[in-house]
Amino acid sequence: MHPHLVCFTPSCRAAFDITDVLYNCPKCGGLLEAAYDFGGLDPAALRKLWRERRMDNAPLAQSGVWRYRELFPFLDDTGHVITLREGNTPLLSGPRAAAYGGLDRITFKHQGFNPTGSFKDNGMTGGAAQARRLGMKRVACVSTGNTSASMAAYAVAGGLDPLIFIPNGNISYGKLAQALEYGAKTFQVEANFDQILALVRVLAEKLGIYLLNSINPFRIEGQKSIVIEMMDQRDWRVPDWIVLPGGNLGNVSAFGKGLREMLAVGLIDRLPRLAVVQAEGSSPFYEFMRDGGRGEFAAQTHPETLATAIRIGDPVSWPKAKLEIETTGGVVERATEQEIADAKAVIGHSGIGCEPASAATLAGIRKLTAAGVIDRGADVVAVLTGNVLKDPDYIYKYHTGQLQAPGGAAIRPSFGNAPVVVANDPDRIAALIG
Ligand code: F0G
C-alpha cells in the first residue's frame, strides 16, 4: 500500500492520492490525514538506525525531524526537503518549576530551541517539502505569529514565495519581525485568526497558492517528530503525561497520531496521557470537552488572551484532538491570564524561559495536581512551544507591573523582577547591592 490521504471522519474514510492538493475531504468536508502501511517496520532496527543517524553529518540525518522519516514516508524523493536542522530540541529538568507545579520532578521539551524559535519548524519542514514536491510556487498561511515566522524561513530557504496573513495587532513583534526579516509578503488583516483562515482558504483556492496551516496533513506529519524524538531521548520510556498548550489543536493531533503509530510499530509499549491547556478567554475545546465532547462544538467568536499564540476561537483540528484526548485518557484544562503569567515567570526563573502560550502548560499542571488528576510523583513532560524572546514586550510589562489582561484588569507581578534605575554612583549602587 502506497502512502495516501484518508478522510479522518470514521463514517467516511474516503482515500485520495498523496499528491492531491486537498485540505478537506471532497466527499464529506472532514479533515484529512496521511496513512501508511507500517507492516514491515522492525522497532529494534529503527531505534538503531535513528541512533546511528545522530552521528551522521548528512543534513537529513542531522534534522531532528527527517532523522525519523520512516514514520512519515510520504515523499517519493527526499530531494524536496528543505532543512534548517530543525528539531534536536532538549529535554530539560526544572526543579523550581516542578515544585510550583506540585510535582516531584518535571521535564520540559523545549521546542523554542528550533531554528525560528518554535515547534512550528518541525511541521513546516514537512509541509514545505510537500509544497516543493507538488511544484508549488507560492505558499500561504494565517498565523498568530509562529507559523508565519516558520513558513517564511522555510519558504525562502526553499525558493518558494511566502504570503503571510496575520491579525492586525495581537501579534508579538518578535514574530512579526521574523516574517519581515525572512522576506515574506506580509498582510496585517483587520480580523481575528479564525476569520482570516476563512479568507486565506478562499484566496488559496482562487490563486492556486499552497496552504501551510496545520490543516495541511503534511504539517501534522512533521510535528509527529516532536514525540518521536522525545521518546528516543528518553530511551523509549513512556512518561505518564505529556502536557501541551492548545490553540488550533494541530499539535495535540500530531502528538496523538505519532504516539498511536509508535505503539502500533512496537516502539513504545503504552500511550502516555495527553493534557491540553487553553487560555481561559480562548477555551472552546475546554468547554466542549467539559461534558465529554458529546454536544455540538461551539466556536468562540471573540477569543481573548495575552498569550496571543493561542488566541483562537474556532480550532480546525478539534475532531482529531478529541480522538487523541479520548484515546490516551487525557484531559483538557484552562488557565487564567494571571496563572499563565506567573507560571511563565517561574519557568524563566528556572533558567529556561518560554513565551506566554507555552507557560499555559505549567499553569495547567499546577491546577491538575491540586485537583488530584496528576499525581505528585508522576513522570510529566511539558512541551514548551516557543522561545522566551518571542514576546519580550509581555515580559517587560509583567516584571514592571504594567501587564493588563484583555479586559483591563491588572496582572500582579507575583514573581516580578523590575530593573533598578540608578545614577552613575558606585556608593549608591554598592548600597543597593548590599
Ligand atoms: N504554542 C505556541 C507558541 C503557538 O504558536 C501555538 C500556535 C500553540 C502553542 C498552539 O498550537 O495551534 O497546534 O494547538 N500557533 C499558531 C500560529 C496558531 O499561527 O503560529 P496548536
CA dihedral sign of residues 228, 229, 231, 236: positive
| 291: confidence class by pLDDT, cuts 50, 70, 90 | confident
Report the predicted TM-score, pTM, of the whole model to 2 decimal places.
0.98
Integer Cα distance of 21 and 201 in angstroms: 13
C-alpha 120 – ligand 1 centre gap (Å): 8
- The whole-number pLDDT of residue 240 equals 99
Report the range of poorest mean pLDDT among 56-65, 69-78, 165-174, 325-334.
Answer: 165-174
Q: Is it the case that residue 432 has pLDDT exceeding 90?
A: yes
Using the structure block, give the residue that is written with the C-alpha cell 485540505: 23
- What percentage of the chain reaches a pLDDT higher than 90? 98
Per the prediction, the chain carries an average pLDDT of 97
Query: Distance between CA atoms of 219 and 381, rounded to whole angstroms?
Result: 22
The mean pLDDT of 404-419, rounded to a whole number, is 97
Instruction: Give me ligand 1 centre to Cα 119, in Å.
Output: 8
Per the rule left: phi > 0, alpha: psi between -120 and 50, beta: everything else, 246 is: beta
Residue pair 295/104 in contact (Cβ under 8 Å)? The answer is: no
d(CA 275, CA 281): 18
What backbone torsions phi and psi does residue 274 show, to the nearest 5 degrees? -100, 135
Per-residue confidence (pLDDT) for residue 365, from 0 to 100 = 99
| HEC secondary structure over 169-198 | CCCCHHHHHHHHHHCCEEEEECCCHHHHHH
Question: Long-range contact list for 178-182, CB < 8 A, 24+ apart?
Answer: 178/116, 178/117, 178/148, 178/149, 178/152, 178/153, 179/148, 179/149, 179/152, 182/149, 182/152, 182/153, 182/155, 182/156
Ligand 1 midpoint to CA 260 (Å) = 22
The mean pLDDT value for 237-241 works out to 99
As a whole number, mean pLDDT of residues 55-72 equals: 98
CA distance 423 to 434: 16
Rounded CA-CA distance 372/384 in Å is: 23
Do residues 116 and 178 make contact, with C-beta atoms less than 8 angstroms apart? yes
What is residue 170's predicted lDDT score, i.e. its pLDDT?
A: 84
> Which candidate, 282, 137, 300, 150, places its Cα nearest to that of 214?
150
Q: Looking at the CA of residue 142, tell me the nearest atom of ligand 1.
A: 19
Q: Give the pLDDT band (50/70/90) at residue 1.
A: confident
Ligand 1 pocket residues where CB is under 6 Å: 118, 120, 143-147, 214, 245-251, 309-310, 355, 357-358, 385-386
Specify the residue with its C-alpha closest to ligand 1, atom 9: 245
DSSP 282-344: G-HHHHHHHTTT-S-----SS---S-GGG--SS-TTHHHHHHHHHHTT-EEEEE-HHHHHHHH
Confidence of residue 342 (pLDDT cuts 50, 70, 90): very high
Q: Work out the angle at residue 178's Cα, subtended by the Cα atoms of residues 177 and 183, and round it to the nearest 5 degrees.
A: 100
User: Does residue 420 have a pLDDT over 80?
Assistant: yes
Q: Could you tell me whether strands 331-335 and 380-384 are parallel, antiparallel, or unpaired per DSSP bridges?
A: unpaired
The pLDDT of residue 393 is 96
Stretch 56-69: mean pLDDT: 98
- The three cell numbers of residue 97 are 518549576
Centroid of ligand 1 to alpha carbon of 297 (angstroms): 20
Calpha distance 319→275 (Å, rounded):
16
